Amino acid sequence: MTDKTTVLSDAFGRKIEYLRLSVTDRCDLRCAYCMPKDFDGYEEPANWLSFDEIERVLRLFASRGLSRVRLTGGEPLLRNRIADLAGRIRAIPGIDDLSLSTNGTQLVKHARPLKEAGVTRLNVSLDTLQPARFAAITRRDALKEVLAGLKTARETGFAPIKINMVWLAGTNDDELEAMIAFCRDGGFILRLIETMPMGETGRNSQFASLQPLMASLKTRFGLIDGLIPGGGPARYLVTPDGKFSVGFITPMSQHFCATCNRVRLTVDGMLHLCLGQEDRLDLRQLMRDGESDESILTAIQTAIDRKPERHEFSEHPEKIIRVMSSTGG
């Protein structure tokens, strides 16, 4: 049962109710803004949290008010028996929202088992609808698989499905209209994302602020501010009749740190308090040292007390050496 008197909260009064769980740091794509082409700094399997360890950590968090979990990676569908893990997480009292971020290449195979296991919402990354461009951005010719995966997910009953499009100046910024049409026709919710300077790959990406685009969409189509459920950082613009919406994730041009309600757990059991700093708590070590639930909970709260007020991506873009795929986006 959730003990509301001891809900996890940080020094700035932000309640921590959302955890992004990276279940693997491996991926079958190599998106240029995320993973170095020849990346080989993977965690040893011996260091991966087991399903029992993951469940233990999440039960502890849930006993202190955590209600939402997102499975991510790397590519989460590469972790063996991912649907079994989803089912175990969904059965934890208090966790009532389980979502998953995927590149979609393996969704044809996994959509149904994930739905049956209780995954409620899906985010699928898709930066372009052009096969050659897809291959250039992700370094793999897999657009067909992703589109088939989206179709299967929709037929399986996932709704809403959000499409995450990283906005890359000079690469895919001529595809907005095509992507809007694709999402409108397919019943997907489009979200545009600014790149963050995570590792060399993130720093070398073609960043462009989304603010000019937001302003022009408001005037061109009369879009107004709207709300779409999710608990994440996106701001949405919607048509006055509510039939069309587009989301914006703007960590750089207008950060959302004041309402940050989340922490991240990596595949090797590191609890990261903020994407924009290296401070972490080694939960794997604590568990494998035989620490009690009570002492682990104390360590978690002490770490959350150190959660910084905001990231410093603009002031110190050189600060983060971790790439996004090893932290969990």
Tell whether residue 193 is a contact of ligand SAM (CB under 6 A).
yes
Give start and end residues of each alpha helix (H) in 30-81. Answer: 51-62
Tokens, residue 230: 């999710």
Tell whether residue 197 is a contact of ligand SF4 (CB under 6 A).
no
Q: DSSP letter at 309? A: S
Q: Which residues between 146 and 175 bind ligand SAM (CB under 6 A)?
A: 164, 166
Minimum separation from the CB atom of position 72 to ligand SAM (A): 5
The 3 state secondary structure assigned to 99-156 is EEEECCCCHHHHHHHHHHHCCCEEEEECCCCCHHHHHHHHCCCCHHHHHHHHHHHHHH
30 binds, among ligand SF4, ligand SAM, none (CB under 5 to 8 A by kind): ligand SF4
Alpha-carbon distance values, 91 to 59, 96, 319 (Å): 10, 9, 38
Residue whose token pair is 């179709």: 151
Tokens, residue 26: 């491996």
Distance (Å, whole) CA 47 – CA 324: 19
Tell whether residue 35 is a contact of ligand SF4 (CB under 6 A).
yes
Q: Which is nearer to ligand SAM, 26 or 64 (by Cβ)? A: 26
Give start and end residues of each alpha helix (H) in the chain. Answer: 51-62, 82-90, 107-117, 131-138, 143-156, 176-186, 199-203, 211-221, 283-288, 293-305, 324-327
Tell whether residue 324 is a contact of ligand SAM (CB under 6 A).
yes
300 binds, among ligand SF4, ligand SAM, none (CB under 5 to 8 A by kind): none
Tell whether residue 16 is a contact of ligand SAM (CB under 6 A).
no
Q: Which of 8, 16, 29, 265 binds ligand SF4 (CB under 6 A)?
A: 29
Q: Which residues between 28 and 87 bind ligand SAM (CB under 6 A)?
A: 33-34, 72-73, 75
229 burial (CB, 10 Å; 0-12 / 13-18 / 19+) is exposed
Q: Which residues between 198 and 257 bind ligand SAM (CB under 6 A)?
A: 198, 202, 205
Minimum separation from the CB atom of position 26 to ligand SF4 (A): 9
Tell whether residue 27 is a contact of ligand SF4 (CB under 6 A).
yes
Q: Which of 101, 106, 245, 266 binds ligand SAM (CB under 6 A)?
A: 101
Residues in contact with ligand SAM by CB under 6 A are 27, 33-34, 72-73, 75, 101-103, 125, 164, 166, 193, 195-196, 198, 202, 205, 324-325, 329
Residues in contact with ligand SF4 by CB under 6 A are 27, 29-31, 34-35, 73-75, 103, 125, 324-325
